[in-house]
Chains A and B, each alone.
Chain A
């Protein structure tokens, strides 16, 4: 079973977690000034990277907390997990 390192609980089984989409999305400070295309880009368009991706995960059947992870979308390998607000790690070479 795939083990994921929760920053608070340590290594836990994958089925305790939920994937919550791309991480590090910043809500525009003043949405009223954006064009429809820019707003649509913020709301709906994601990188969907083939390779290393920074994602939000939630330890939903554990401590309940959100955290960020650096995961390879082809191999499912987790390179790092880190708490929200922490700087993102660089992908392994």
Chain B
């Protein structure tokens, strides 16, 4: 049984800068398609910073988007199967190992999918989409539950 939990609100900042400038913020800059506890790769020269951001040394765009996202955390062995009910990505360990992070879609909602560890998956979704996403996840879970 996969546990679906709403995460408490969190502070986050969207960073757009060159990799060299991003490195001056302090935390290690994650490689493409991966994330660390402080920084999520979203695209070339685009990251989501969690927590309070540092001050970049060089041209950069930092936008506080803390109110944009709600977080959902999924725990449990069947989480990848559950996510694949709405997400077209290959979520097998070989294709999406722990540490992976990417923007993708779930149903009709755009989500940031992040796998901090083997057993945990996090979905960041635009606030107004979170009831939709939550309902869809619960429906998928009911579909996958035998009996």
Give me the interface of A with B, judged by CB distance under 8 Å: 1, 8-10, 12-13, 15-16, 61-65
Counting contact residues on chain B (CB < 8 A from A), the size range is: 10 to 19
Contacts of A63 in B (CB 8 A): 42-44, 46, 102-103
Interchain CB contact (< 8 A) of A13 among B42, B43, B44, B88: B88
By the criterion CB–CB under 8 Å, are A8 and B104 in contact? Answer: no
Q: Which of A8, A12, A61 has the most CB of B within 10 A?
A: A61
Q: For chain A, what secondary structure do more than half of its interface residues adopt (helix, strand, loop), or is it mixed?
A: loop
Contacts of B46 in A (CB 8 A): 63-64
A-B CB proximity, top 8 nearest: A63-B43, A13-B88, A61-B105, A64-B43, A61-B110, A62-B103, A8-B44, A65-B43
By the criterion CB–CB under 8 Å, are B88 and A64 in contact? Answer: no
Interchain CB contact (< 8 A) of B44 among A1, A12, A15, A65: A65
B11 to chain A, nearest CB (A): 22
By the criterion CB–CB under 8 Å, are A64 and B104 in contact? Answer: no
The reply to whether the CB of B32 lies closer than 8 angstroms to some CB of chain A is yes
Q: How far is the CA of A65 from the CA of B45 in the complex (A)?
A: 10
What are 8 A-B pairs at a CB distance below 8 A? A8-B32, A9-B102, A13-B88, A13-B89, A16-B105, A61-B104, A61-B105, A63-B42
Interchain CB contact (< 8 A) of A16 among B32, B33, B43, B104: B104
